[in-house]
Amino acid sequence: MEITWHGHSCFTIKEKGVTIVTDPYTNLGTKLPKLKGDIVTLSDELIDAEGDIAEVDGEPKVLSWPGEYEVKGVGIEGFSAFHFAKSAEKAEKANCKVVIYNFFVNGFKICHLSGLGHRLTSELTESIGDVDILLVPIGGNLVIDHKKAVEVIEAIEPRIVIPMYYHVPGSKLDISGAEEFLKAVGKEGAEEIEVFEVAKKEDLPDDKTDYVVLKPMLG
């Protein structure tokens, strides 16, 4: 499996003949590369409203709502969450919804936390369940900051964490960079890699959480 990051919450996930593209939004300041996929997930009600979504080649199935799906052998679960708040209850009143997605890909379980802006409720933590690879926002303001991200990671206990939704050159969002998060998890100065690759689930750590920092692959 290969995971590539395109800034913010946009990823390409490839595994054995199926490609998932998450959140290919073009109105956030950064330029996306040409994308191709079988599945596209759109997770952000606030940003969706702008209507600026990149064209993804390949006639993909587009998902933008909570629920359970299966596309090309990939199981998908979507759960409602929210932006901008210290708690889900306060966020719900603000009506800025996001969708958290679990992807079940050839034995791997990947959780994309979208623009999560609040601590996880016990119900949401239970719904997410055990996770192999967690894609977690860390930039603050619009999404959870590095401190809340650490709390979320401790609640989910994934095997691999890939931070996302933090400031990169060109971003027009008011979010912070990755430095404070990496310092908090003891990975200050970690080297960026272009692609995270893993052949099988057994290759993941089974008694700890590892952190992977991806270089944003932009257009």
| pLDDT value of residue 219 | 86
| pLDDT value of residue 49 | 54
pTM comes to: 0.93
| pLDDT value of residue 89 | 52
| pLDDT value of residue 51 | 61
Name beta bridge partners: 214.
193
Q: Could you report the average pLDDT of every consecutive run of 10 residues in the chain (219 residues)?
A: 97 95 92 96 75 88 95 96 62 70 96 93 94 97 93 96 96 93 92 95 91 95
By DSSP bridging, strand 196-197 and strand 35-36 are unpaired
Domains in the chain with CATH codes: 2-211 (3.60.15.10)
Amino acid at 98: V
Contact between 2 and 197 under an 8 Å Cβ cutoff? The reply is yes
| pLDDT value of residue 214 | 97
Separation of alpha carbons 131 and 111, rounded Å: 7
